[in-house]
Amino acid sequence: MKIVVYAICKNEEQFVDRWMDSMSEADEIVVLDTGSSDDTVQRLRDRGARVEVEVISPWRFDVARNRSMDLVPEDADICVCTDLDEVFHPGWRALLEAAWRPGDSQAVYRYTWSFNPDGSEGVVFWYEKIHARHGWRWTHPVHEVLTWTGKGRPGRKVTVEGIQLDHRPDPTKSRAQYLPLLELSVEEDPSDDRNLHYLGREYMYRGRWDDCIRTLERHLAMPSAIWADERAASMRYIARSWAMKGKRQLARDWYLRAIAEAPHLREPYTDLALLLYEDGQWDGVLYFTDCALAITQRPRSYICEAAPWGSLPHDLRAIAFFQTGRLEEALSEAREALTLEPTNQRLADNVSLLERKIKGE
């Protein structure tokens, strides 16, 4: 099979060698540079990539990605879309070839979107930016997605266990363009529930609490908004906004709605436990963290966040047990939290403190 990697970039010379090393298992690498002022283009060409330069104005991610896809040769069997701040673990091509069958149209694989300060994985979900050469186009100005535009139905979507793509971005890079592009995306397609959810979330990120609440209530009212995980996320963001506005009871009510919507997710339970922790409601903290920890299957969607699967639930339980005088239970939970985040000095100090208290020191 002929496998071609394609990408868009701008001013990413710092990532060129790492990215090219990672993508070197492909037969060909093509890149659309959208106006770099540094040495990105020449460094890519020196490493063997075929690079075209085109400024996309007004800027849209879908237009840029489609132009980069157009650079892929027509006889390619599989297209692999990545960004220059992403890195495949070695051996990805062999795994893809072993799983791909004639007529397949898309591959799903594991993606680590963020890493914790200690180097452990943060947000992890399953990505699907590997696809057949024909029948696909990117849509939406931002948070763009592959949309099937071919005849009939797309072929099989195959899950490729073992492929791992890591996101290692430049933390100083601005995301200022996201909000206007999301507002444009909703304006262009007001019936797309996914875009409305992302817009509401972006308002939350920016502290625009009323806009977040208004937008996500619209999302929840849409007939097409039926995915429970995303609906629960909208409810959680509404709850967080109400909490930031000082409306604690409204926040609790929305967190409870999120739990009812998606009882299979840790996030709503953990968020409510955090709210109750802030209010000193220790029995509630213990109840909802226990509910969260009873969920042992980590979802593969982007909705899955890092904190509920890290030390946080055990840390909250340790504090709640301590506050209610149950030191042995507190120590057990504190040790669990430290096991999950061994470089966290506060967690280590908590363990030491509890050990001394239990010994009567």
Question: Residue 237 pLDDT > 90, yes or no?
Answer: yes
Q: Does residue 218 register a pLDDT over 90? A: yes
Distance CA 158, CA 342 (A): 36
| The length of the chain, given as a count of residues | 361
CA distances from 211 to 113, 219, 309 (A): 26, 12, 29
What integer pLDDT is reported at residue 175 of this predicted model?
79
User: Nearest CA to 23 among 157, 130, 137?
Assistant: 130
Which of the two residues, 118 and 259, has the higher pLDDT score?
259
pLDDT over 70, % of the chain: 100
Instruction: Decide which of 258 and 117 is more confident.
Output: 258
Query: Which domains, from first to last, does the chain contain?
Result: 3-167 (3.90.550.10), 178-285 (1.25.40.10)
Distance CA 228, CA 181 (A): 25
DSSP state of 115: B
Strands 50-53 and 28-33: parallel
What does the pLDDT average to over 201-230?
Answer: 98
Q: Average pLDDT, stretch 57-65?
A: 97
Kindly tell me the sign of the dihedral angle through the C-alpha atoms of 135, 136, 140, 141. Answer: negative
pLDDT tens per residue across span 159-200:
999 999 999 999 888 878 899 999 999 999 999 999 999 999
Res 47: pLDDT: 98
Residue 84 is classified by DSSP as T
DSSP code, position 89: P
Residues 333-346, mean pLDDT to the nearest whole number: 96
Q: With bands split at pLDDT 50, 70 and 90, how would you rate the model's confidence at 301?
A: very high
Average pLDDT, the chain: 97
Evaluate if residue 361 carries a pLDDT over 80: no
Give the pLDDT of residue 12.
97
Which residue in 289, 288, 287, 308 sits closest to 297, CA to CA?
308
Return the structure tokens found at 87: 């890195």
- Comparing C-alpha atoms, which of 256, 317, 255, 334 is closest to residue 283? 317
pLDDT in tens, 262-300: 999 999 999 999 999 999 999 999 999 999 999 999 999
| pLDDT (0 to 100) of residue 118 | 87
- Of the ranges 101-115, 172-186, 327-341, which one carries the lowest mean pLDDT score? 172-186
Nearest to 343 by CA among 310, 309, 305: 310
Q: What is the mean predicted confidence (pLDDT) over 342-355?
A: 96
